[in-house]
Amino acid sequence: MTHNKIINKNNFKLWSKLGMRASFGIIAQEIAQIEKDLIILTADVSTSAGLDRFKKKFPEKYLDVGIAEQNLIGIATGISSEGFNVITTTFAPFQTMRCCEQIKVNLGYMKQKICMVGLASGLVLGNLGYTHCCIEDIGVLRSIPNVTIISPADSGELAKSLFATLNHKNSVYIRLTGGSGIPQIYDDDYDFEIGKAITLKKGDDLTIMATGQMVNEALLTSKILQKKNISAEVVNFHTIKPIDESKILNCAKKNKLIITIEEHNIYGGLSSAVSECLSKIDKSPKMISYGVNDQYSTGGDYNFLKKKFKLDSNIIAEEILLAINT
């Protein structure tokens, strides 16, 4: 079995209905049949990660370390040093920040290679309170050398990301956003390469750059603007580090306005990466960033929090029209 048989139109549709967390467990089973040296470690989240069937089918490839995320990274890097392909997973704030020192030393400094999957990042777990929201993970890991960061737009892109990490030289953090029944961005197989952004829609007036679940909001925003005779290009930046600088610079040359949308603090994430790139050119276009405006909030429903932080296509489109006309 090859990944080309797994990544197809029917599976893309199924995985989108399930959401990224549930799809992760299914995709992991498929990878395990191909990758004989695969080991998955969790921190007491087998059900939340959709791995219950995986651990029954491949008990020799599964290890639960309990609620001990620092041990999770330490054990994973030890197993990796013996030649195994290792994937770790737990909820995003605990996968990235509770064990940040271990990531820094073991993965950044010592250059051990593992794949970390952060479950339910962004605002989707807002009903559990802000301790389970994760708006800092990209910013934290961007500052650590030798760690690649991917935020898939849908479950199909999650599958693409997981397969791509198997042969990638560095450790990878895959950031999962959204709940179940997520919008399907891709209908069928497509070319995916770590570090290469994908133009989903061409446009001549402005460019919307988005990552993760916000790619769908970017596409919806573009449709609203189209009705107002505004042509908006939409680019999926699935890889935040390394950022696709050539794509950013090409967009900056042809459009006078760049919009970034991310389910993350506006500092440290996609907006910061794009700004850092634009600072290298003499005349850069105007830029408007949408994300969490550097604050912690009370918890709440996912859709409520998205609207609160203006991560909603109707709000974004209205503000873009206002910016263009003033």
pLDDT at 46: 93
Do residues 130 and 236 share a domain? no
Do residues 104 and 137 share a domain? yes
Pick from 232, 211, 229, 212: which is nearest to 221 by CA? 232
Structure token pair of residue 38: 């695969």
Residue 89 within a domain: yes
Q: Whole-number mean pLDDT of the chain?
A: 94
End-to-end CA distance of the chain: 56
Do residues 80 and 213 share a domain? no
> How far is residue 95 CA from its own chain's centroid?
14
Residue 113 within a domain: yes
Residue 260 predicted with pLDDT over 80: yes
Q: Of 19-28, 38-47, 69-78, 268-277, where does mean pLDDT reach its minimum?
A: 19-28
Domain count, the chain: 2
* Residue 148 and residue 239 in contact, taking contact as beta carbons nearer than 8 Å: yes
Q: Which CATH number belongs to the domain containing residue 70 in this structure? A: 3.40.50.970
* Residue 69 and residue 99 in contact, taking contact as beta carbons nearer than 8 Å: yes
Domain that residue 151 falls in = 3-177
Residue 281 within a domain: yes
Q: Which CATH number belongs to the domain containing residue 308 in this structure? A: 3.40.50.920
Q: Render pLDDT for 1-38 as a digit per residue (tens, 0 to 9).
A: 445 567 777 788 888 888 899 899 999 999 999 999 99
Do residues 91 and 230 share a domain? no
Do residues 168 and 258 share a domain? no
Do residues 224 and 308 share a domain? yes
Residue 185 within a domain: no
* Residue 180 and residue 188 in contact, taking contact as beta carbons nearer than 8 Å: no
The DSSP element (H or E) to which 272 belongs, if any, is helix 270-278
Do residues 157 and 16 share a domain? yes
* Residue 274 and residue 235 in contact, taking contact as beta carbons nearer than 8 Å: no
Do residues 205 and 312 share a domain? yes
Unique residue bearing structure tokens 């967009």: 251
Q: Render pLDDT for 277-320 as a digit per residue (tens, 0 to 9).
A: 999 998 899 999 999 999 997 889 999 999 999 999 999 999 99
Residues forming beta bridges with residue 39, ordered by sequence position: 86
Q: Render pLDDT for 269-278 as a digit per residue (tens, 0 to 9).
A: 999 999 999 9
Residue 208 within a domain: yes
Q: Render pLDDT for 155-209 as a digit per residue (tens, 0 to 9).
A: 999 999 999 999 899 999 999 999 888 889 998 788 999 999 999 999 999 999 9
Residue 187 within a domain: no
Provide the pLDDT confidence category of residue 326 given band limits of 50, 70 and 90: confident
Do residues 41 and 115 share a domain? yes
Do residues 208 and 156 share a domain? no
Residue 83 within a domain: yes
Residue 189 within a domain: no
Which residues make Cβ contacts (< 8 Å) with residue 196, sequence separation at least 6?
239, 244, 247
